[in-house]
Amino acid sequence: MQRAYRLERIPRQQSVIRLNQQALECGIKPALVIFALYGVLERSRGCHVSVNELNVYRAATLNYTIPHIRIGFGIDMSGHPIDETYVPANVTEQSIGALNLTEVSFMKVSEIDGSIENIYCNSRDQSLHKVCEVPFWRDDYSTHKIRRALRAMYCEHRIAELLQAFDVNTRTVVIVLSADIMLNKPLQQEDILAASCSPGKVFLTQNNDGSDGYTDGFYVGHLAAIRATLSTFDLLPLHFRSGLREQPYEFLLKATCIHWNITRAVLRGFGSFLKDFVKIRANGKIFGNLPCASKDMMDMEVCPQLKHSKCSHI
């Protein structure tokens, strides 16, 4: 049985969203679009590049009429298999190069795990150990699944740190995506314009909300809203003390948004279970429904592991 909990919402005046200027005027193009990728950057082995070029990068910059940069924080697998698959060094180099990142930093997976251990799982404060275990996490989260979730949250935390270099008092829109995600449909101009003037709102898909959560892995919003949304790793102790138990990643993300008074908006044209985006694994497996139109855009010489993958006309 799920235990009772209370979500702590901070007062608006104490929110991380502190703009020193008056409310941003809507209907104007952003001054800058920042694309931020995180995770195992070579995981999709370049298979999503052509589709994301159209649906993410070109769409979000209104056909490259808005200045933009691409930053990344990558997990260095140090030769370890990815999805039980060995990815050759030359494929790793080509796959990451195809992302055209302006700035990228890497951290070895062992160092990320070490940071997670030091901060939480093996902290001197034994009460923090609980955020690494069931029943804080839902009971279908194995030890391995919890560790993967914590790695993803840590990567989001590091992206938020990179975003601190940019001024929240500007009309800056940020698109954050896990590096294995391929968006199934293009972002809409209306959402990009709305995000640029909405520092208290984050735009998400509904690809896998679960029973009562927010889909993680793909985020669109004003710089201030995104920095707050990506803080789940930092807020894990607060969520635990609030009484949250038996929860998945999706609800912890929702709890973070509630804490910071961030409103969730669904991206226009999105909202279909497992149809908003797919996750492409290194071994060729696909999480979600792959549209045939997207598959037709892929270069099968680059990603032969998807040659025989099923697709759907959606």
State the pLDDT at residue 20: 44
What's the confidence (pLDDT) of residue 75? 98
pLDDT recorded at residue 13 = 40
Residues of the chain with pLDDT under 70: 1-23, 314
Q: What's the pLDDT at 160?
A: 98
Task: Give residue 211's pLDDT.
Answer: 86
**Domain extents for the chain?**
29-283
pLDDT at 313: 87
| CB of 74 closer than 8 Å to CB of 104 | yes
- 29-283, which class in CATH? alpha beta
Integer Cα distance of 252 and 174 in angstroms? 21
Q: What pLDDT is recorded for position 79?
A: 92
